[in-house]
Amino acid sequence: MEILATEKLTKKYKRLTALNQLDFSIQKGMVFGLLGPNGSGKTTTLGMLLNVIQPTSGIYRWFGKSPTPESRRQIGAILEIPCFLPYLTAVQNLKIIAEIKQCSYQAIDKTLETVGLYDRRNDPFKTYSLGMKQRLAIGAALLSDPEVLIFDEPTNGLDPKGIVEIRELIIEIAQTGKTIILASHLLDEVQKVCSDFMVLRKGEKLFQGRVEDALLNQKTIEVSSPDLATLKNALERFSGIHELTMADSQYILKTDSQVTTTQIGQFLLEENIPVNHLVKKEGSLEKEFLNILSEHE
């Protein structure tokens, strides 16, 4: 089921085109990573989808139709920095949000527990640290148990423990079948959590695809031996190796997906070639991201 689709979504400021003719769509259940350098248009896109920024042209559809108040209540979001009334407590602020979202107050305590703010729930917002403010913002997004969650840099300001907690929370939520849109610079996190991703730069979409496919593309095996020449000969005879490159006295192999280190190890053993380094390297989204950026220089 299509959750979100945009058609030629554009935002122009006086001299700057923040977003240019963006077309993309998200299906139900995806954990969608929105990636791009600073200023690429991630927050602008999310802002337009939430009716905070007015598009210059182009349209978007939530749940297959034009946005309505009901459809927007199905979306929980954090955008940039969390904005709450500083002189009110967490509970009071969440009550206001519950009113807006037309959901009951009962979820408030549970939500505060989920984000780890239960103990500080009756303290005014202005006494919170940045991490706590961020947690409250996440709590506010989760409050009405919405179908779609939009997180713009959710781990901003969190300590390592917090980052892990949020990551696990996101994975947990994703497993219940909800759709999540995650804009982040932490590619490591995105890799661990997202199923699909899109790369933006200067308002243009450079790439959209599945994380799995991107990583598969990058899997490499490193092999080294005291006798590099013999190693090279043997490897050239092994079927299933696409590419053989040399770096730092190691050979880096790009192989078919079914080729494993065990098979290579076995083969080299049979050929009596001593091996002192045999490692499978998984792809990293960071590498892929940087590749995509440089391909479009």
- The 54-93 contact track toward another protein, x by CB under 8 A, reads x--------------x--xx-xxx-x--xxxxx-------
Asked whether the beta carbons of 44 and 58 are under 8 A apart, the reply is no
Q: Residues binding another protein: what is the number (CB under 8 A)?
A: 22
When the beta carbons of 14 and 242 are compared against another protein, the nearer one is 14
When the beta carbons of 72 and 232 are compared against another protein, the nearer one is 72
Distance CA 33, CA 29 (A): 13
For another protein, which stretch binds (CB under 8 A), given 27-35, 95-103, 256-264, 275-283?
95-103
Which of 5, 53, 206, 241 is the binder for another protein (CB under 8 A)? 53
Which of 100, 171, 216, 290 is the binder for another protein (CB under 8 A)? 100
Read off φ and ψ for residue 277, nearest 5 degrees. Answer: -160, 120
Other residues' Cβ atoms within 10 Å of the Cβ of residue 35: 27
The reply on whether position 262 binds another protein by CB under 8 A is: no
CB of 172 to another protein, least distance (A): 22
The reply on whether position 105 binds another protein by CB under 8 A is: no
CB of 23 to another protein, least distance (A): 22
The single-letter code of the amino acid at 213 is D
Q: Which two tokens stand for residue 180?
A: 């999540």
Edge-to-edge strand order for the sheet containing 75-78? 75-78, 148-152, 179-183, 31-35, 196-201, 204-210
The reply on whether position 290 binds another protein by CB under 8 A is: no
When the beta carbons of 79 and 268 are compared against another protein, the nearer one is 79
The reply on whether position 178 binds another protein by CB under 8 A is: no
Read off φ and ψ for residue 58, nearest 5 degrees. Answer: 95, 165
CB of 82 to another protein, least distance (A): 8
DSSP E strand stretches across the chain = 2-12, 17-27, 31-35, 57-62, 75-78, 148-152, 179-183, 196-201, 204-210, 220-224, 241-247, 250-255, 277-281
Asked whether the beta carbons of 181 and 46 are under 8 A apart, the reply is yes
Parallel, antiparallel, or unpaired for β 277-281 and 220-224?
Answer: antiparallel
Parallel, antiparallel, or unpaired for β 241-247 and 196-201?
Answer: unpaired
Which of 4, 9, 97, 253 is the binder for another protein (CB under 8 A)? 97
- The 199-238 contact track toward another protein, x by CB under 8 A, reads ----------------------------------------
CB of 52 to another protein, least distance (A): 5
Read off φ and ψ for residue 251, nearest 5 degrees. Answer: -100, 135
CB of 69 to another protein, least distance (A): 5
When the beta carbons of 86 and 226 are compared against another protein, the nearer one is 86
Sites of contact with another protein (CB under 8 A): 47, 50-54, 69, 72-73, 75-77, 79, 82-86, 97, 100-101, 140
